[in-house]
Structure 1
Amino acid sequence: MTQGERMSPGRRTVLGAAVLGTAAAGLPTADASARTRPEHGDARRHGTYKDLPVPYVIGHRGTAGYRPEHTLGSYQHALDLGAHVIEQDLVPTKDGHLVCRHENDITATTDVADHPEFAARKATKTIDGVAVTGWFTEDFTLAELRTLRAKERLPAVRQRNTLYDGRWSVPTFEEVLQWAEREGRRLGRRIWLHTETKHPTYFRGLGLPLEDRVARLLRRYGRHRADSPQFLQSFEPSSIQRLSRLVDTPSVVLLSGKGSKPWDFVVSGDPRTTDDLVKPAGLKWIASYAQGIGPTLDLIVPKDAAGRLTTPTTLVADAHAQGLILHPYTMRNENTFLPADFRRGTDPNAYGDAFGAFKAYFATGIDAVFSDNADTALLAAADFRAKG
């Protein structure tokens, strides 16, 4: 499918949004259209996503607020807390296996630096235009990677998570799919996953394209259909386009901050930036091959120079008008990550008023949110639904 083609009605699942819009609590509101959802709600609730309440909670890297990210322990804890959807980020090994890491640089998330046998693997690489020094998954076979243990990425912020350093290894995507099958049988329900292709243009240049490998595993485990309990996501629209030609799995285009440009646009010379993609014409183009967007929360409600929330944009209404769902990222409980309005005290690592921040963001009409703290997000979402 080319960029200009639109999916046939049989291919496109009715995804429309199902949240009843409300005025943002305690915030200036966008125009009335931003508070009114299109007439997709009933169809959506009875269609592909009927087992997901709205707003639903996506466990960011599992439950990164409590366990080292992208480990089976983190995924299991997110599921045990009740997260509706659980996220994985995928990068390849030297021998072509897909493993779950937020980045291919594993310096901060594994004990690789403690392995003298791998000291010579340390290197400096340019990834999506940025020079990075460390150890990289593409320089390790899966067997070598299995000798490493995962650790907390932010030990200065989340000291308690360091208790679990070394407890888990780096999981493969196939192991996560098998885990989801086992847990689904145990719980008697579908286990939703949200899977990102990381740096796909970079890896394609190394001869390690991600999309075919992802699609092959999705087909093997029955997650390739439009009604699968599975989302695909990428910051590179071309990766989502490639995946849309291989599987019918619902997909989401991730969008970073204002003025930024997807890396595949940089490589291809595409002049558009995120500013263009969040306009109605850009959203219409995304809707021709994807079912949703995952914008940074700042694209939903911008912050002022002091870091306080300002007036919500019309992005929620504009995306819903194109039938797109919204999965913004990322909510965390610590003061250092919260808008200034909701920070409490002077300790940047202490918890702030996360419930207040969730309330403000849910009031914009978003369909879901990524959160490092699934339990907090779930309580906030339940409060929001209870108040209509």
Structure 2
Amino acid sequence: MRRNKQLPHIKIISHRGASGHRPEHTLASYTLGARYGGDFIEVDLVSTKDGHLIARHESEIGHTTDVATRPEFADRAGTRTIDGAEVTGFFAEDFTLAEIKTLRAVERLPEVRPDNTAHDGDYPVPTLEEIIALAKALTKELGRPIGIYPETKHPAYHASIGLELEPPLIRALSEHGLAGPEPQVPVFLQSFEAESLQKLRDLELPLVFLMGTEEKWRHFTTPEGLAEVAEFADAIGPHKSMIIAVTDEGKLGEPTALVDDAHEAGLLVHPYTFRSENHFLPETLRSGTDATTYGGFATEYDAFFVAGVDGVFTDHSRHAFLAREIFMEEG
């Protein structure tokens, strides 16, 4: 029996924009994600040296910009320890915003998304303010709300180097009419760190506690842990395998109790990340052997819609939108 027949409330969260079609975290990617049916622009926020919030997958920008090819920045390469992991490359916090604006985005996954590399060098790195302006413009253009879904990326690390993410985020949202119970466009705020979410609580916006698959998250998938999460958040963003795992035979397994338990605790559930290429799909949903080919993504979405999720993080907003339309018709 299908659940969640009120399907329009299931949100399509354009993960770094339409990152399956354009280099991620660019205004072009965000625009395409909305035009392809996405309800939210998902944004990873890191800080520049002078305290501006920009959109990058991580503080390390060597894999998502052309910085490594720029001789004037060769001496900026280095190694940092971020959340216990040693990372080598180029880091946003070593560049001013003016310097960041001279860089151009490149495709982060060229082996899986070779078509995206045709756009390497086309787009600059956007700021939070530019993304807010884009969401408002797209809302007007498309005649429906296009929200933003920012993540504070490694907030404890940023705080440790004197570049807290929360104060400039609070300031930007407040100044642009995106704070309070009735923001000009919808907003969700997300983080893997509860402390960061707690700093954002006064904005009166829904907060999403992200959860990974590592052992440290296991407690938060239990009814007791979810009740604790509900003390400081309004939703969870679990890895999708925590809801439906892939079996040893390469099939989608049976849903866990996580969605029902989260709903019982009063929490929405927005799993991550749905991607349409064979490379990311369970073996039985793949089409042929080429990793870059789209497989049976609709079957995967359908399973999660049946499981009762309230939204999906996706690199392919159009595919999620079409799968949702089919599910509505059949439901």
Identify whether the pair has TM-score above 0.5, normalized to the shorter chain.
Answer: yes
- 2:211 matched to which residue of 1? 255
Residues 232-311 of structure 1: matches in 2 within 5 Å? Answer: 232-244=189-201, 246-259=202-215, 273-311=216-254
1:311 CA displacement: 1.9
- Classify the secondary structure of the residue corresponding to 2:170: helix
- Structure 1 position 82 matched with structure 2 position 37: yes
Task: Pick one of 279, 296, 303 that aligns with 1:336.
Answer: 279
**Equivalent residue number for residue 292 of structure 2:** 349
Paired residues of 2:112 and 2:279 also in contact (CA < 8 A):
no
Give the drift of 1:238: 1.2
Letter in 1 for 2:253: T
Q: Deviations over 1:184-209 (max 9, x none)?
A: 33334432111100000000000101
* Contact 1:56/1:381 (<8 A) preserved: no
- Which structure 1 residue ranges, 5 or more long, are not aligned? 1-21, 24-34, 46-51, 260-272
1:54 Cα shift?
2.9
With the length of structure 2 as denominator, give the TM-score of the two structures: 0.96
Matches of 1:146 and 1:258, distance apart in 2: 36
Which residue of 2 is the match for residue 370 of structure 1?
313
Q: Is the partner of 2:130 in helix, strand or coil?
A: helix
1:91 to 2:70 alignment: no
Please state whether the residue corresponding to 1:301 is helix, strand or coil. coil
* Alpha-carbon distance in structure 2 between the residues aligned to 1:203 and 1:148: 22
Match of 1:321 among 251, 256, 264: 264
Matches of 1:369 and 1:189, distance apart in 2: 18
User: 1:164 and 1:154 mapped to 2: Cα distance?
Assistant: 13
Identity rate, percent: 47
The secondary structure found in structure 1 opposite 2:46 is: strand
- Give 1:258 shift: 4.3
- When the two chains are superposed, the root-mean-square deviation of aligned CA atoms in Å is 1.6
CA distance in 1 between counterparts of 2:310 and 2:214 reads 21
5 Å matches for 1:191-230?
A: 191-228=146-183, 229-230=186-187
Mapped partners of 1:374, 1:61: distance in 2: 11
CA contact (8 A) 2:17 2:29 kept: yes
Displacement, 1:306? 4.1
Alignment partners' CA distance in 1, 2:296 and 2:222:
32
Query: C-alpha separation between the residues in 1 aligned to 2:317 and 2:268?
Result: 20
Deviations 1:221-269 (A, max 9, x none): 111113330000001111111111x31111100011141xxxxxxxxxx
1-structure distance, mates of 2:306, 2:144: 29
- CA–CA distance in structure 2, aligned partners of residues 152 and 188 of structure 1: 30
- SS for the counterpart of 1:57 is strand
Counterpart CA distance in 1 for 2:23 and 2:321 is 20
Tell me the secondary structure at the aligned position of residue 363 of structure 1.
Answer: helix
Partner of 2:76: 121
Partner residue in 1 for 2:131: 176
TM-score by length of 1: 0.82
Shift of 1:76: 0.7
Aligned residues of 1:226 and 1:250 also touching (Cα < 8 A): no
- Distance across 2 between alignment mates of 1:142 and 1:181: 23
Counterpart of 1:64? 19
Where 1:117 maps in the other structure, the secondary structure is helix
Letter in 1 for 2:110: P
**Cα contact 1:256–1:295 (8 A) shared by 2:** yes
Comparing 66-75 and 332-341, the one that deviates more: 332-341
* Residue matched to 1:263: none
Cα distance per residue 1:76-128 (max 9 Å; x no partner): 11111121111011000000000000111111110001110100000011111
Counterpart CA distance in 1 for 2:8 and 2:59 is 33
Q: 1:358 aligns with which of 288, 301, 307?
A: 301
| Higher relative contact order, structure no. (Cα contacts within 8 Å, ≥ 6 residues apart) | 1
Cα distance per residue 1:291-350 (max 9 Å; x no partner): 100000000012223443222100000000111111100111111101222112111221
Q: Distance in 2 between matches of 1:139 and 1:294?
A: 30
SS, match of residue 65 in structure 1:
coil
Once residues 185 and 344 of structure 1 are traced to their aligned partners in structure 2, the CA distance between those partners, rounded to angstroms, is: 38
Number of equivalences? 329
1:119-150 superposed Cα distances (whole Å, 9 cap, x missing partner): 00000111111111100000000001111001
